[in-house]
Amino acid sequence: MTTAPESASVVAALRQLIVGGRYPPGTRLAEIPVAEGLGVSRTPVRLAFRTLEQEGLLEKVGKRGLVVRAFSSMRSGSAEADTRSKNCVLIWRSSWRTDQPERMASAS
């Protein structure tokens, strides 16, 4: 069974990998390779994908699959949207905790 702290750690780790450039915009993400890279089961990865999609970091493509969304290409195309997007990235970076488990650090 997946615990809430484990799921939160996977969300934080994936967010850091995306924002840090390990998964650049346009990269298709699949549960199994990401789970293996983080050393966790598929369930917390699936939950993390859902969370990151709701936050706007991931985008559904077709019926199956998610890709990393480009930060500067918000749907409205306005400078205000670009600024909001960049501010979100800065907030995500500042919220990354330095005391994450070693397995999360090894994924980057």
The answer to whether the CB of 71 falls within 8 A of the CB of 65 is no
Q: Is residue 108 part of a domain?
A: no
Q: Is residue 85 part of a domain?
A: yes
Scan for tokens 């999360």, then name that residue: 104
Q: Is the pTM of this model over 0.85?
A: no
> Is residue 95 very low, low, confident or very high in pLDDT (cuts 50, 70, 90)?
low
Range of the domain at 82: 4-101
- Here the CATH number for the domain that contains residue 22 is 1.10.10.10
Percent of the chain residues past pLDDT 70, beyond the cut: 60
Q: Is residue 47 part of a domain?
A: yes
Q: Is residue 107 part of a domain?
A: no
> Rounded to an integer, what distance in angstroms lies between the CA atom of residue 35 and that of residue 31?
6
Sign of the torsion angle spanned by Cα atoms 31, 34, 36, 41:
negative
In this structure, what token pair is assigned to residue 16? Answer: 């850091």
Count of the separate structural domains present in the chain: 1
Q: Is residue 60 part of a domain?
A: yes
Q: Is 23 left (phi over 0), alpha (psi -120 to 50) or beta?
A: beta
Q: What is the pLDDT of residue 85?
A: 54
